[in-house]
């Protein structure tokens, strides 16, 4: 990788590689680098927390999702990731994050479709993901 590669390029390439089905283990370092180089971009932290969730690393997912939510409290995917990481880590207080996610996606059809698409993607990549099934059911209430 060249040092002239911008953070935006690295982020976009990481997303493309994810969509192409590349291994989560090879993508985590890419998104870690994006987060290291651009500490205030909530989307990068949201992506990294999602990758940690898919890799069964709920403790790392929790800290990265907390950072993403702190940077952008209105991002429903960051909230969803935080709720998932809390469930997977056995933490309390999950429901409030799910309710905030519900409120956000109720006012934006675009965000709603994006979140539901990501949930489906997660269940495709990790079919026996019980906590994601639970959150999906809550969001559909």
Q: What pTM value is reported for the model?
A: 0.93
d(CA 126, CA 141): 23
Class of domain 7-139: mainly alpha
CA dihedral 55, 58, 59, 63 (to 10 degrees): 90
d(CA 85, CA 2): 33
pLDDT, tens digit, 9 for 90 and up, residues 46-83: 999 999 999 999 999 999 999 999 999 999 999 999 99
Give the DSSP H or E segment for 61. helix 58-71
Distance from the first to the final alpha carbon of the chain? 46
The radius of gyration of the chain from alpha carbons, rounded to an integer in Å, stands at 14
d(CA 69, CA 137): 22
Give the residues of the chain that fall short of pLDDT 50. Answer: 1-2
Q: How confident is the model at residue 4, as a pLDDT? A: 63
Q: Position of tokens 């990788």?
A: 1
Q: Where are the domains of the chain?
A: 7-139
**Residues 123, 129: contact at Cβ < 8 Å?**
yes
Q: How confident is the model at residue 2, as a pLDDT? A: 47
Q: How confident is the model at residue 1, as a pLDDT? A: 47
């Amino acid at each position: 990788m060249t040092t002239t590669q911008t953070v935006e390029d690295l982020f976009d390439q990481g997303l493309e590689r994810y969509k192409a089905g590349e291994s989560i283990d090879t993508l985590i370092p890419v998104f870690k680098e994006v987060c290291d180089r651009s500490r205030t971009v909530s989307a990068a932290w949201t992506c990294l927390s999602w990758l940690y969730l898919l890799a069964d690393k709920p403790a790392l997912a929790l800290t990265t999702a907390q950072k993403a939510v702190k940077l952008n409290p209105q991002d429903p995917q960051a909230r969803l990731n935080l709720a998932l990481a809390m469930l997977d880590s056995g933490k309390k207080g999950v429901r409030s994050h799910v309710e905030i996610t519900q409120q956000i996606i109720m006012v934006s059809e675009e965000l709603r479709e994006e979140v539901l698409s990501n949930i489906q993607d997660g269940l495709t990549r990790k079919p026996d993901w019980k906590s994601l099934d639970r959150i999906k059911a809550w969001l559909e209430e």
